[in-house]
Amino acid sequence: MAVLIQVRDAHKRFGDQVLLDGAELSLVDDLKVGFIGRNGAGKSTLLKVLLGDEDVEKGEVIHHPSLRIGYLRQHDPFLPGESALDFLMRDSEQPDWRCGEVAGQFELKGAYLEGPVKSLSGGWQTRVKLAALLLKDPNLLMLDEPTNFLDLRTQILLEHFLRGFNKAALIVSHDRAFLNATCSQTLELSRGKLTMFPGKIDSFLEYREERREHDRRVNATVIAKQKQLKRFIEKNRANASTASQARSKAKQLERLQTNEISVDEPTVFIQAPKVEPRSGTAVRCENLSIGYADRRVAEGIHLELEHGERAAIVGDNGQGKTTLLRTLVYSLNPLAGSLKWGFGVEIGTYAQHVYTSLDERLTVLEHLEYVSNSSTTRQDILAMAGALLFRDEHIQKKVKVLSGGERARLCMAGLLLGTANVLVLDEPGNHLDVETVEALAEALKLYRGTVVFTSHDRHFMRQVATSVIEVRDGKVKNYFGDYAAYLQSVELEIDSGERDRNAGSAKTTASAVSDPSGPSDYRQTRRDQRKVEKEIKNLEKKIASLDDEKRQLNDQLMSETDPGKAMKLHESIQSLVQQLEECEERWLELNDEFQV
């Protein structure tokens, strides 16, 4: 196991902000690591340090001689008028046949490969960038928010690619579902310190909260003991017969110390607009057609949403999700049919066409004061601004100097401070970190109004959506199932497509096999089937046993006050988690075989 990059005692500041403070890190050649941290913590800066684009002020960054980094950047690396093939040849300095061969792994063929790359959707452009990475034969991939603007199918294809990539990866993402599917370890940057956790992000977040809760309980016990000792000392130190006891208690008091609870930033708390719940139909569409003067995107739409629904709009990029949302908020006129919102509806919109048109003369604070509910206090405004990362001097920044991401967060803050009883949200999780996305999901679940939204974050979708509307092949319709069912159907389609692509070799193999309908083959098939059934039952028993054992150890961990014993319990839990994952993966694999 080779260490590809090692960071030792790294220090770096940006103005008054400490980004790295004695940071330590080792990236080895066979692990995929999910990299998380609050916005502004310094994740992008650390990537630049690892790439050699920036230097640390103190400490060192050591690269293995064989290190070959493939870096997926967020910015656009394409030249005007350049085709995907032209870009791959320019970027990799490889011949066209080799570029075409690698591009084919990402289904880049025909017009997708030879047409203007800038005309492709964000998902297809990401496939081009990934092909460019592979052409450089990296042994360490660095991906910076790779799922931003990717549709569900492209996300799943990227997951499949990463699971098949047998080298190292460091992935910066706010998408918990994506990190859980691709990364076996989690790296957090908090207050300048790097913490590597030997498990997936969900396990890390659970462990981090358990440790904080454990430290809170220990601190409460220590504080109570300190008060008890102080009372004894004050009562007995002046008494000659008990003075020695008081001195002994004073020494004991000196040894009692509380633990510092490591919290990166003040806990994010977001509150949605306070509205009165309504009943009945919120919006009705009849024979609606949507699109533009030169292009009809979807037609024959019959749709009805009830007040209180949280409807997720799903579908591939380019199918018309954003067009539908813009039509619903009257940013686009319907091409035909009718669209009617219910009486008393007040719509609040979060979308790119809104947050790119803010009044640039105002400061952050002035904008929030202007758009917020008249009963909102200044403290509420400052709290919401802080939750969306506008703190201290940042609230006095003019809108005209804000970045695209800052404008998006400002629009979200203003929307949540308003009085809208219908929220229409286009990709609300973009530009937010993991904790803030989670806080937004919790706020929307408690919101008593109606939500219509689209997102590429599967964890967010699962948390928030109560109904699903699919935009596909020029049609818009209710999907009869929850988001988990929709996700499963897409994964089955992708799996089916991958099986079809491999059908040629499978047919060749099948033609060389004798007729499987004979008696001996039938008996063999039944024996194999019974063997699979038996293994499935044994796995189910083992999974139940491991789950019970894990629950018992978690209960012990929650009450354990000794840090050493707590760490041993945590290591035992992680071992059980790994065993559970292996058993569950095998169970799924066997069930797939059994169904086939």
Looking at the fold, whether 138 and 215 belong to one and the same domain comes out as no
Of 169, 189, 204, which marks where a domain is finished?
204
The reply to whether 503 falls in a domain is no
Residue 401 confidence class, pLDDT cut points 50, 70, 90: confident
Position 464 scores a pLDDT of: 94
Say which CATH number the domain at 560 has: 1.20.58
pLDDT at 529: 61
Residue 595, pLDDT score: 47
Is 510 inside any structural domain?
A: no
Q: Is residue 567 part of a domain?
A: yes
Whether residues 342 and 429 share a domain: the answer is yes
Please, which pLDDT band fits residue 527 given cuts at 50, 70 and 90? low
More confident residue, 15 or 518: 15
Same domain (yes/no): 460, 557 = no
My answer on whether 145 and 11 are in the same domain is: yes
Name the domain count of the chain: 4
Domain boundary (491, 507, 541) is at: 491
Q: Is residue 501 part of a domain?
A: no
Quick one: pLDDT band at residue 504, thresholds 50, 70, 90?
A: very low
CATH number of the domain encompassing residue 350:
3.40.50.300
**Pair (83, 193) in one structural domain:** yes
Between 538 and 118, the higher pLDDT residue: 118
Q: Residue 83 has what pLDDT?
A: 94
168, 296: one domain: no
pLDDT of residue 567: 75
Across all residues in the chain, what is the average pLDDT?
A: 83
Within 10 angstroms of residue 375's Cβ, the number of other Cβ atoms is 8
Among 4-18, 382-396, 537-551, the range scoring the smallest mean pLDDT is 537-551
Per-residue model confidence as pLDDT tens digits over 105-150? 788 888 889 999 988 877 788 889 888 988 988 999 999 888 877 7
- Confidence at residue 596, expressed as pLDDT on a 0 to 100 scale: 43
Per-residue pLDDT at 528: 64
pLDDT band (50, 70, 90) for residue 501: low
pLDDT category, 500, cuts 50, 70, 90? low
Is pLDDT of 307 > 90? yes
Task: Give pLDDT, residue 509.
Answer: 38
Q: What angle do CA 311, 314, 316 make, to 5 degrees?
A: 165
Is residue 110 a part of any domain in this protein? Answer: yes
Q: Is pLDDT at 8 greater than 90 in this prediction?
A: yes
Domain final residue pick, 204, 231, 266: 204
Please check whether residue 8 is in contact with residue 62, taking contact to mean a CB–CB distance below 8 angstroms: yes
Res. 525: pLDDT tops 60: no
b/e per residue, 514-545, with b = 16+ CB within 10 A?
eeeeeeeeeeeeeeeeeeeeeeeeebeeebee
Q: Would you say residue 449 has pLDDT above 90?
A: yes
Given this model, what pLDDT does residue 536 score? 75
306 and 433 part of one domain: yes
- Residues 331, 215, single domain; the answer is no
Q: Are residues 189 and 241 in the same domain?
A: no
Average pLDDT over residues 564-580: 79
On the question of pLDDT at 523 being above 50, the answer is no
For every residue of 193-229, DSSP letters joined together read: EEEEESS-HHHHHHHHHHHHHHHHHHHHHHHHHHHHH
The residue among 493 and 451 whose pLDDT is bigger is 451
Whether residue 407 is contained in a domain is answered as: yes
Tokens in use for 277? 């719940």
Q: What is the pLDDT of residues 169-217, one digit of tens each?
A: 999 988 888 999 999 999 999 888 899 998 999 899 888 888 777 777 8
**Same domain assignment for residues 246 and 304:** no
Do 125 and 318 meet the contact criterion of CB atoms below 8 Å apart?
no
pLDDT, residue 262, reads: 52
Range of the domain at 354: 281-491
Which residues have C-beta within 8 Å of that of residue 270, sequence separation ≥ 6? 384, 387, 416, 436, 439, 440, 442, 443
276 lies in some domain:
no
Q: Helix, strand, coil % (nearest 5) of the chain? A: 50, 20, 30
Percent of the chain with pLDDT over 70: 89
Whether 279 shows a pLDDT value over 60: the answer reads: yes
Same domain membership, residue 385 and residue 455: yes
Q: Are residues 183 and 103 in the same domain?
A: yes
Residue 8 or 105, more confident: 8
Asked if the structure places residue 270 within a domain, the reply is no
| Token output for 200 | 């997936």
In this predicted structure, what is the pLDDT of residue 289? 94
Most confident residue range from 161-165, 265-269, 385-389: 161-165
- In this predicted structure, the answer to whether residue 380 has a pLDDT above a threshold of 60 is yes
Confidence class for position 288, pLDDT limits 50, 70, 90: very high
- Residue (of 364, 347, 346, 450) closest to 411 by Cα position: 364
pLDDT of residue 508: 38
Q: How confident is the model at residue 506 (pLDDT cuts 50, 70, 90)?
A: very low
